[in-house]
Amino acid sequence: MHPTRFHPSRQHGAFTLIELLVVIAIIAILAGMLLPSLGKAKSAAQRIACVNQVRQLGLSATLYAGENAGQFPERSITNRWPERLFPTFRSVKILVCPSDIGTDPATGKSGNRPATAIQDPNAVADSAPRSYIINGWNDQFALEMGDSFNMGSIINRTMREGVIREPSETVLFGEKLYSSGHFFMDFLEGKLGNDVETLNHSVHGSSVRGTQGGRGGGSNFAFTDGSVRYLKHGRSLAPVNLWAVTERWRTNAINVTP
């Protein structure tokens, strides 16, 4: 007598179309629930990476000042601050915030001068894509120079650490608009000043992203005492302008639309 063999029915070995549709629907629902959380986690990681980069730039500037009689990098039109600090931070990758839109934030300008007129082809850091901008200090220079002050007259001038009255409340580095090539944040340039026209006040956590910056959210800032802070949209300018050194400009608050 031959043993009975079991032959499973093919009908029970495959999913039906309805079962497949149910599985796909469940996966879609789970993905919809998880994607916002993953997006927030990615955003948080990018913001932390940006904080570390800004901190490294601030540390590089502090070390530079320590080696140069307490003076921050001079305001030059060649061999500018990225190039001068490059021996300390050593990698141009830290010049690009991971939260920036696209892959190549603008660089290559000092004020309104075209990049081709000032760019040194051997300046690796100066010519690298860059998300950050340094304080131009021109409110202090204007106070010191009086009537002889103009934007051309401050070339090669330096800012001394000891002049800064409130180092824990004075910005050294901030985040610029993606499309701006400015190296220095200048109050006295443009129609409204670089603090309004060039800074990106909402790199992180903004509901609107783009080359001109969004609203809401905030950005990271390095201060001259070595600290780094995240400030909400516009809080580097009001109620106190934290980019200013002189009392007159610090209390000349600018309204930035929230």
Per-residue pLDDT band for 210 (boundaries 50, 70, 90) equals very low
Question: Is position 257 within any domain?
Answer: no
Question: Is position 5 within any domain?
Answer: no
pLDDT digits (tens, 9 = 90+) for 61-115: 999 999 999 999 999 888 899 999 999 998 999 999 988 876 678 886 544 444 4
Question: Is position 53 within any domain?
Answer: yes
Across 35-44, 120-129, 177-186, which has the greatest mean pLDDT?
A: 177-186
Sequence-distant (≥ 6) Cβ neighbours of residue 101 within 8 angstroms: 178, 209, 210, 211
Question: Is position 9 within any domain?
Answer: no
Question: Is position 11 within any domain?
Answer: no
Q: How does DSSP assign 49-74, residue by residue?
A: HHHHHHHHHHHHHHHHHHHTTTBPPP
Q: How many domains does the chain have?
A: 1
**Residue 188: domain span:** 16-250
Question: Is position 237 within any domain?
Answer: yes
Please report, rounded to a whole number, the percentage of residues in the chain having pLDDT higher than 70: 76
Is it the case that residue 254 has pLDDT exceeding 70? no
CA–CA separation, 131 and 201 (whole Å): 12
Q: What is the mean pLDDT of residues 243-248?
A: 94
CA dihedral of 86, 88, 91, 95, whole degrees rounded to 10: -70
Terminal-residue alpha carbon distance, the chain: 88
Question: Is position 244 within any domain?
Answer: yes
